Every structure is written in structure tokens, then in C-alpha cells.
Amino acid sequence: MTATTAAAAKSQGANNVRGWGRKEMAARLAQDIPEGWYVNLGIGIPLAVGDYIPADREVVLQSENGIVGMGPLQTRANLDTWIVNAGKQNVTLMKGAAMVSHSDSFAMIRGGHLDLCVLGSFEVAANGDFANWTTSLKSVPAVGGAMDLAVGAQRIWLIMEHTAKDGKPRLLEKCTMPLTAPSVVKRVYTNLAVVDITARGFELVEMNPEITFEALQERTGAKLHKKG
């Protein structure tokens, strides 16, 4: 193999880096949630984070339709169809759970009482802007509670694929899709890396071992700073 083909192969190989799977991403994020935090997990992959919180660590999950203290999904053994979460799934309640109305729930969310909200996203920018509610305004989108969570929680962490299916970066200088909120994201967990958003922009916290820094930078649409 010549040097040129080797570089090409490496680049090709890097293009094919799958990195962490969704469960691994959720588990990775769950490690970083300390005991005692009140956390809202968005619909989809974020919700899976709840499955990876260590059993000996009490974290209180909030769901924006009014649950403080959400437990795992119901089974036939503990069926109670009156209990649903914001994703409209039948869930259990933890001991210590409290139910509130939507208005009280969003007062809680907007008022800054959640330590953390984890959301999925299509795009995130180096200044903390993110876009997760609609790819386009051509059709009528639904917004739900994402915009309230985005501005209300003490920290917004995103859990998302590092690139789109066609390989285009989703961590960008500036979002191209309609924003959910400007300047709120603090950290991004992707299949390839964990990235903080600071005054300097994207700062690498951790990389998937399958990829090099250069390859990661290639897949990132804005400068990726090393910590320190």
C-alpha cells in the first residue's frame, strides 16, 4: 500500500467509525449525573439514560407532564394506565414521587429548578445554540416542551449522533435548522466524543478510542479545542 492509499484507507476507515452505540452513549452520560440531581430526560435516547443510573445512586427524574420521581416503564405486573410520562408511555412512580399539573411542572422547569435536562438534537453550535424541534418550517411542526426545558434547566446536555447519515457534521459553527434556544447547551454526548461548550466553543472532554483527534475534527463543523 502506498502512503496515499494508506491515508485514503485511514480516512475511509474513519468515515466508517461507528463509535459508541446509543446504549453506550446513554450509559456514558448516566455516569456523569451525581446523586440527588433532579433531571428531565427528553423523549427518545435521552430517556434511556434512566436505565443506566447506578442502582445505589438516587437521581430524581422529572417528566414535564407533571411527574417528579419517575420510575421505569410499567410491566403487566404493575399496570396503571393513569400514569404516563411526557412521551405518553405508561411509567412507574418512585417512592417519594409527587404529581403536579402542567402549569406547576413548567413553573418548575422554567424557574431553573432542574439540575439537568438531557435532550436529543439535530444540530448544535459552538456558541451553545441548538436545533432539535424541527428540521424545517415547511410543514407544520410540533414543539412540545423542548423550548421551555431548553431555557429553564440549569444545564442542557445533548445526546446525539456526531454526524448525519450522509456524514455531514451536526456540531457546527452555526445551526442551519430552526433553533430550539440560543446559547444554552453545556455539553454534548455523541457516538464519537464528549464535548463541552465553553466560552472558547467546543472543548473535547473524551474521545471514542476508535477515532483520532484529527478524524474527529474532520467530522466536526467547528474548531474542536483540546481542554486546558
Partner 1 sequence: MINKIVQKLADAMAGIKDGSTVLLGGFGAVGQPNQLLDALTEQGAKHLTVVANNAGTGRKGLAGLMAAGRVDKIICSFPRSAGSVVFEELQAAGKLELELVAQGTLAERIRAGGAGIPAFFTATAYGTYIGEGKEVREYDGRKYILERAIKADVALVEAWQADRWGNLRYRTSGRNFNPVMATAADLTIVQTQHIVELGELGPDDIHTPSIYVDRVIHIPYGDPPMAQPMD
The catalytic site residues sit at 64
Exposure of 186 in the CB half-sphere (CA atoms within 13 A): 12
From the list 19, 42, 69, 221, which residue makes contact with partner 1 (rule: CB under 8 A)? 69
How far, in Å, CA of 16 to CA of 35, rounded?
37
CB 209 → partner 1: shortest distance, Å? Answer: 34
Site of grid cell 406547576: 104
From the list 83, 185, 188, 192, which residue makes contact with partner 1 (rule: CB under 8 A)? 83
- Neighbouring-strand partners of residue 221: 172
The SS3 of residue 48 is helix
What the block records as the C-alpha cell of 198 is: 465553553
Residue 147 sits in the site that holds partner 1 (CB under 8 A): yes
From the list 41, 49, 60, 124, which residue makes contact with partner 1 (rule: CB under 8 A)? 60
Residue 84 falls in which region: left (phi positive, over 0), alpha (psi -120 to 50) or beta: beta
From the list 58, 154, 164, 168, which residue makes contact with partner 1 (rule: CB under 8 A)? 58
Mask of contacts with partner 1, 102-141, x by CB under 8 A? xx-xxxxxxxxxx----------------------x-xxx
CB 184 → partner 1: shortest distance, Å? Answer: 9
